[in-house]
Amino acid sequence: MKYMAKISILTVFVCLLSVTGYTRESVGMASGNLTTADACGFGLGYTGLIFGYGDAASCIGGYVTYGFSNFTEGRIKIGFSDLDGPGTDPEFLFGFDLKYKFMDYSGEMNNNPLDLALTSIVEYVNYPGSSVLELGGGLIGSIPYHFTSGRSLIPYTRLNLRWERYSENPGMNIAESNYRVGLNMGVKYELSSDINLYGEVQIDGNEAIFTGLEILSF
């Protein structure tokens, strides 16, 4: 019954975010989320790969995550994004996020139903003849499920609210800015104590599927 209650809470959380997060007009995030509400830990760091395919844009890239404390981590993303369409080429992508975990599912003194974290969002893509800048923040919720093998499966959801600036022909100062909402839902699986695998669906202006692989590097 205890686990059923936790599953029900996460299901309601996801459903509420799904209704709130859907939007058709946004340009959309290019690099997805690919992280749970948990933090990697003080002094620890991961390097990872990102692969994404969307109806508006696809991406390939990498990232480095570092734990500033047991509840705070920062991540830098660098890669390339390609607008879907004839004659398009991959263009430079940069992203940064800072995450703070404020609710701990596994805390010894607490009985919290899930992990919750706040995260910032910064993403810039320089497409041919245009550019997209995303600035904002999000709320990430996740619940770890531990197997007898010692591995964990962690479903997660991120709801984000951001300011999106789309510039067309940047030299001519043709730009449009709007506030946008987006939703990411995925799962993290521990392949080993040092390697994690991600699968994710994004509901946004760029409806996309992402996969990721990260390795504990320092």
Domains by residue range for the chain, with CATH: 2-216 (2.40.128)
The predicted pLDDT at position 9 comes to 47
Cα Rg for the chain, rounded, in angstroms? 17
Let me know if 4 is exposed, middle or buried by CB neighbors in 10 A (0-12, 13-18, 19+). exposed
3-state secondary structure of 105: coil
Residue 112 has what pLDDT?
Answer: 82
Q: Do the beta carbons of residue 63 and residue 74 sit within 8 Å? A: no
Q: What is the DSSP string of 36-73?
A: -SS---TT-EEEEEEEEEESSEEEEEEEEEEESSSSEE
Q: Among positive and negative, which fits the CA dihedral 45, 75, 41, 36?
A: negative
* Model pLDDT, residue 172: 59
- The reported pLDDT for the residue numbered 123 is 97
Candidates 73, 71, 43, 75; CA nearest to 61 is 75
Question: Could you say which residues of the chain have pLDDT below 50?
Answer: 1-24
pLDDT at 111: 78
Which ranges constitute the DSSP H helices of the chain?
2-21
Question: What local confidence, expressed as pLDDT, does residue 26 receive?
Answer: 74
What pLDDT sits at residue 86?
A: 53
Whether residue 77 contacts residue 125, with contact meaning beta carbons closer than 8 Å, is answered with no
3-state DSSP assignment of residue 113: coil
Total Cβ atoms within 10 A of residue 130 = 17
